[in-house]
Amino acid sequence: MRLLRRRVREADYLRKWVVLGALIGVISGLGAALFFVALQLGSRFFLGTIAGFVPASPLGEGAQPITDAARPWALPLVVGLGGLIAGVIVFRLAPEAEGHGTDAAIEAFHHGARRIRARIPLIKLVASAITIGSGGSGGREGPTAQIGAGFGSFLARVLDLDARDARIAVSSGMGAGIGAIFRAPLGGAVLAAEIPYREDVESEALVPAFVAAIVAFSVFGALIGFAPIFGRVAGAGFTDPRQLVYYALIGLAAGIVGRLYIGSFYGLTRWFSHWPLPREIRPAIAGFAVGCLGVALPGVLGTGYGWVQAGLDRTTLLGLPLWVVLALPLAKILATSLSIGSGGSGGIFGPGMVIGALLGAGIWRLLEPIAPGLPADPSPFVIVAMMALFGSVAHAPLAVMLMVAEMTDSLAMLAPAMLAIGIATLIVGDRSIYTSQLRSRADSPAHRPRFALPLMAAIAAGDAARVARAVLSVDATAGTARARLEEAGVRGAPVVGTHGSVRGSVDLETLAAAEATTPVGELRLNAAVIAADDGLDDVLGILADGHRDWAPVVADGRLVGVLSARDVVAAYRRALAANVRQVRTLGSAGALLEADIGPNSTLAAASVGAVAWPRDSVLVSIARGDQVIVPRGKVVLEAGDRLTLYSASRDWATLERLFENPMTALPSE
C-alpha cells in the first residue's frame, strides 16, 4: 500500500487521473445501476402492490403511459409510510444523509473532501429508493452524486491523496454518478467542474471528470441500457429566428418560476426545522400531504419523467386537461419542497428539470391556439424550458444544456436555449438552489489561501512539520494516555495503530471525559490529518474546516510530525525572509529579471540546489502553469518554467547562457 500511495502521488496529472478517474467511474456506474434497480423495486412494491398505481415512465425506460391508481385512497398512506421508513433510516443512522445529496457533495468538496463517511452513500441509496419509490417527489441524481463523491472521498483517504487531489476525486465522483443516472456523460463531466461555484469553474476537475463520467456511463449502460431517457425527440428544431421572441418569453417565465422554486423549497425547509415533532416523523407527515396532492395530480409523484415524455408529444399533451398542464409545475414545486424539505431523501436536480419541462408544455398549450409562427410540436418549448429553469437556478447553464441535449438525443435547441437561460439567469440573480455553492474559487476555503498567499501554496506540509512531543497507541488506556500528555505538556497527540498507521488524534478533554480503562482506539478520534505533500494553503483550510489548531502530518499513512497554524505562519515567514535577506545583499545594484527555461536548456530536469547560479543572483520564484513554486533546493526545474530572479547586471550574460533564452527586465516601481 505504501508503494502504491507513493506511485500515485508521484504520477503525472494525466496518468494519475486516467487511472483514478476510471476507478471512480466504475464504482459510480455500479452505484447508479444499483440505485436504479432499488428504485424500481421500491416503486413496484409501494405504489404497484399497495396502491395499484404504475407511474408513467419515459421512452428510454419502458414508455409506461399515464394511468390512474386502482386504489387512489391508498396513495397518501403509501407516500406517508415511505417517508416514515426513510426518516427513521436517515435520522437514526446518518442524519447528514437527509435532504438532497448533490448539495452535500458540494459541501464536502469545499469543506472536507476526505471526510465523507463510508456509510453515507449506502444509507442515501436505501432512503432515497424508499422515498421516491413510495411516491415522494425527488430526483435520482442526489443519491448517485453521493455514491460517487463518497467513493472519491474514500479513495482520497486510502491513497493518502493531497487536499487538491481529494477535491478532484470528490468532484469527479459527483459528476460521474449524475452523468450515469441521466445517461448524459458529457453533461455530467461539465457539471462536476461547474456546479461548485455560481460564477466560476473548477477547471482542474474537467479531465478527471470526463474519464470518470465516460466509464460510469459505460458501466451503467452495460447493466441498464444506453438509450436516452426521453428517446430521440424528432420534433425538436430551430429554423425560424422570429421564434426567439417565444424563447425569450420562456426565459422570463423560467426565471420567475425558478425564484419561486428556490424560495418555496428553502421556506418549507426552514418551516419544518422549527417543528417540535421528532425529525423522523416530519417526512411521514409531509409524505401524507404529497400523497393527497397526488390523488388529484399523479404527475407530482416520484420522478415525474413520464409526464415530461407526455409533454414532448403533441397528441398526448393536447389530450390532457389544460388546468392539469398549468397546475403541474406549481404542484411539483410544492411536492418536492414537502418531500425533500421535510428531511426526506432525494435529489432536487431532476424535479427542477421536470418543473421546467412542464412549464414549457404549459406555455405551448396557452399559445398554440393564438400565436403565429409557433412550433407545431411542443418539444422545442419543453426542452428549452427544461434547460432554462434548472440551468439558471443551479448556475450550471452549460452542464444542464448538455445534459438535456443528451437526454433527448438532440442538439438542435442549444441556440434558443442560450437566450432563454441568459434571461432566466438575470431574473434568478445570485440565488441558487444549492446553498453550498460559492461565488468563485477565491471564496472557497479550498482555494482562498492560495489566492491570497500564492507562495504559501508551494511550501509542503512535510517541510514545515515538527516532531510530535507525544504519540499515543490505540491500545493505550485513556488514563495512561492522559498522564502522558500531561507529562509532555501538550493538549493533544496523534494516535497510531499497531502497525504504525495514523488513526487520527485525541485531545486531553476527550481523555479526561472517558473511563480510565477505555482503550484510546475506542474513543471518538479526530479524523483531520494533513498529507505531507499538502501545501500550507491547504493546511490552513484543513485546520479551519475541522475547527482545529493542529493536526498530524502523514506520508504513506505513517506519522511525519504535527503541524499547527502557528507553525504554518512561521514556515512561511522563514521562506519569505530567506529570499528577502539575499535580495537585500544586492541593494540597488540588482534588478528583477524573468526568463523561460527552453526545451534544450541544461536547467531542464535539474534541481534548484544543483544549479551553479551566479553569486550575485537570487532565484525568487518559479511559475509553472498557474502555480507559483517556492525555489527550495530539491525542487526540480522543468522546460517551460518561468523563473523570476533578482540579479546584478554583471551576471546577466551568465544567466542568459544558462537559460539559452533572452532575459526580460521587469519594470521597477
Taking only the tens place, the pLDDT of each residue in 497-535 is: 877 788 889 998 888 888 888 988 888 888 788 888 777
Cell 494516535 -> residue:
495
Could you read off the pLDDT of 330-354 as tens digits, one per residue? Answer: 999 999 999 998 888 888 888 999 9
- What structural domains and CATH numbers belong to the chain? 14-222+242-441 (1.10.3080.10), 450-565 (3.10.580.10), 570-665 (3.30.70.1450)
Could you read off the pLDDT of 609-662 as tens digits, one per residue? Answer: 788 877 767 777 787 775 667 676 678 888 888 887 777 767 777 777 777 666
Average pLDDT of the residues in 295-307? 92
Average pLDDT of the residues in 559-563? 90
User: In which band, very low, low, confident or very high, does the pLDDT at 668 lie, cut at 50, 70 and 90?
Assistant: very low
> Residue 328: CB partners within 8 Å, gap ≥ 6?
297, 299, 300, 307, 358, 362
> Residue 441: CB partners within 8 Å, gap ≥ 6?
197, 200, 202, 447, 451
**What is the three-class DSSP state of 551?**
strand
User: In which band, very low, low, confident or very high, does the pLDDT at 13 lie, cut at 50, 70 and 90?
Assistant: confident
**What is the three-class DSSP state of 136?**
coil
What integer best gives the mean pLDDT of the chain? 85
**What is the three-class DSSP state of 531?**
strand
Q: Which pLDDT belongs to residue 653?
A: 75
Q: Which pLDDT belongs to residue 447?
A: 62
Task: Check pLDDT > 70 for residue 327.
Answer: yes
Q: Which pLDDT belongs to residue 588?
A: 47
CA–CA separation, 387 vs 249, rounded Å? 14
User: In which band, very low, low, confident or very high, does the pLDDT at 180 lie, cut at 50, 70 and 90?
Assistant: very high
Q: Which pLDDT belongs to residue 120?
A: 82
Cell 523563473 -> residue:
643
Beta bridge partners of 347: 139
CA of 151: how far to CAs of 224, 501, 578, in Å? Answer: 21, 21, 42
Q: For residue 647, which of 611, 621, 617, 613 has the smallest C-alpha distance?
A: 617
* Residue 468 amino acid letter: A
Confirm if 397 and 364 have CB atoms less than 8 A apart: no
CA–CA separation, 524 vs 506, rounded Å? 8
Cell of 94: 446518518
Q: Which helix (H) or strand (E) holds 504?
A: strand 502-507
Confirm if 435 and 103 have CB atoms less than 8 A apart: yes
Could you read off the pLDDT of 534-558 as tens digits, one per residue? Answer: 778 778 877 876 778 889 998 877 8
**What is the three-class DSSP state of 627?**
strand
Cell 421516491 -> residue:
132
- Whether the pTM exceeds 0.75: the reply is no
CA–CA separation, 36 vs 143, rounded Å? 10
CA–CA separation, 72 vs 209, rounded Å? 44
Q: Which helix (H) or strand (E) holds 553?
A: strand 550-555
Confirm if 212 and 24 have CB atoms less than 8 A apart: yes
**What is the three-class DSSP state of 496?**
strand
Kind of pairing, strands 492-496 and 502-507? antiparallel
Q: How far apart are the first and last CA of the chain?
A: 52
Cell of 278: 421528532
Kind of pairing, strands 550-555 and 530-531? parallel
Task: Check pLDDT > 60 for residue 414.
Answer: yes
Percent of the chain scored above 90 by pLDDT? 40
Kindly list the strands in the beta sheet with 530-531, ordered across the sheet, starting from the edge strand earlier in the chain. Answer: 530-531, 550-555, 558-564
CA–CA separation, 338 vs 334, rounded Å? 6
> Residue 273: CB partners within 8 Å, gap ≥ 6?
none
Cell of 494: 496523534
Average pLDDT of the residues in 180-198? 92
Cell 512561521 -> residue:
570
Kind of pairing, strands 550-555 and 627-629? unpaired
Confirm if 557 and 1 have CB atoms less than 8 A apart: yes
Cell of 659: 537559460
Would you list the DSSP string of 57-109? --GGGT-PPP---SSGGGHHHHHHHHHHHHHHHHHHH-GGGSB-HHHHHHHHH
Q: Which pLDDT belongs to residue 36?
A: 94
Query: Does 558 or 235 have the greater pLDDT score?
Result: 558
User: In which band, very low, low, confident or very high, does the pLDDT at 97 lie, cut at 50, 70 and 90?
Assistant: low
- Cβ atoms < 10 Å from Cβ of 584: 11
Q: Which pLDDT belongs to residue 450?
A: 53
Instruction: Pinpoint the alpha helices (H) of 297-396.
Output: 305-312, 314-319, 322-341, 349-367, 379-393
Beta bridge partners of 590: 648
Q: Which pLDDT belongs to residue 68?
A: 87
CA–CA separation, 630 vs 618, rounded Å? 12
Q: Which pLDDT belongs to residue 274?
A: 87
CA–CA separation, 270 vs 263, rounded Å? 11
CA–CA separation, 5 vs 556, rounded Å? 6
User: In which band, very low, low, confident or very high, does the pLDDT at 418 lie, cut at 50, 70 and 90?
Assistant: very high
Could you read off the pLDDT of 356-392 as tens digits, one per residue? Answer: 999 999 999 999 988 888 888 999 999 999 999 999 9
Could you read off the pLDDT of 422-432 as tens digits, one per residue? Answer: 999 999 998 99
User: In which band, very low, low, confident or very high, does the pLDDT at 454 lie, cut at 50, 70 and 90?
Assistant: low
CA–CA separation, 236 vs 386, rounded Å? 13
Helix orientation angle between 536-545 and 163-181, rounded to the nearest 10 degrees: 70
Would you list the DSSP string of 595-626? EEPPTT-TTTT-BGGGS---TTEEEEEEEETT
CA of 81: how far to CAs of 78, 84, 282, in Å? Answer: 5, 5, 11
Average pLDDT of the residues in 587-606? 71
